[in-house]
Structure 1
Amino acid sequence: MRKSRIAAGAVAIAATALVAGGVTAEAATAPPASPATAQANGYFYTYNGTWFTDFCAAWSGNSGDWGGCANQDESLWNNGYPGRLDDVLVYWGTGPSGAWRGVCNGDALPELSGLTFDWSGGARGNGESIWHNIAAHKWATLGGVCA
């Protein structure tokens, strides 16, 4: 009986760690040198500079609040593994909330100034630029409806 309680506790701790790990940036994960030559590694990257300069953060899971990277984005890269939940929705608001835009699997967007939040059904931020205006993201399956 004692062993089953210990095993159950270990499973609960592991599950909590997996859930918690997906909501914060994984700062130790530096991006590969170039989106043009990199193989998929399961991460979504944001940069404070255009053309993938001034790396800010990388996530392998969802983030409801980009913290210090929020509203500073100038380029994005979805280097996730192809398959289910391989696209990323970037959101105008934390939570995530408000208008969103899709970044398809494999997309490397070096310059965000011409893109807007267009998919929202009238939510806050609809039609606004995503340049310096992203606060959260989540992984999704979009079927080609992306930036």
Structure 2
Amino acid sequence: MRIKRSLATALTAAALTLLTAPVADARAAAPGTEAAVAPAAVPAPDGFLYAWEHPHAGGFHCKWSGPNGNWAGCQNKVSDIWNNGFPGRAEDVKLFRGTSWSGSWVCLHQGHSIPDLGAHGLRFFGPGEGQGEPVNDRIGSHLWVDAC
């Protein structure tokens, strides 16, 4: 009985590790080039939040290393997002529905990527205008925060 219990505990811990690990998503180093990262490797953090117009790094993209209160060219046009920020202080990103960090928000943890926001179904959950709306094509600003 002890062996079964130990095996069940080990399998549960392994499953939780897999389910909570950051998404490994090899991204292109520069527009128009192939990704130089093996599919099983996780790219090293570079301190940027990346956003693309279309799912799976398609179309034009924007990137930021700090907070931005007005996404301008990317505002309400993003279907793929990736937090490749540095771990530690200000590692998570709050994505806001409106400009100037207004409206409802949702959080993207350090190292996480959602390559297809439309298919994922993520919705704004923080209090404010836009709460409950899908995040796909509806982000207006972001802040780097210590934790969400």
Q: Same fold (TM over 0.5)?
A: yes
Distance 2:60 2:85 in 1: 17
Q: Which of 123, 133, 136 pairs up with 1:131?
A: 136
Give aligned-pair identity as a percent: 37
Letter of the 2:123 partner, please give it. Answer: T
- Distance between the aligned counterparts of 2:122 and 2:113, measured in 1? 13
Deviation at 1:55, TM superposition (A): 3.9
Over aligned residues, Cα RMSD in angstroms? Answer: 2.0
Count of aligned pairs between the two proteins: 113
Q: Which amino acid aligns with 2:63?
A: A
SS of 1:48's partner is: strand
Give the match's secondary structure for 1:62. Answer: coil
Q: Provide the residue aligned with 1:141 in structure 2.
A: 146
Q: Which residue of 2 aligns with 1:99?
A: 104
3-state SS, counterpart of residue 111 of structure 2: coil
What's the TM-score once normalised by structure 2's chain length?
A: 0.70
Is residue 113 of structure 2 the alignment partner of residue 108 of structure 1?
yes
List structure 1 runs of 4+ shifted beyond 3 angstroms: 29-37
Match of 2:90, SS state, is coil
Please tell me whether residue 38 in structure 1 is matched to residue 43 in structure 2: yes
Give structure 2 stretches of 5+ with no counterpart.
1-28
Q: Which residue of 2 aligns with 1:61?
A: 66
One-letter code of the match for 2:112? D
Match of residue 118, structure 1, among 125, 135, 143: 125
Q: TM-score, normalised by structure 1?
A: 0.71
Counterparts of 2:105 and 2:86 in 1: how far apart (Å)? Answer: 21
Aligned to 1:87: 92
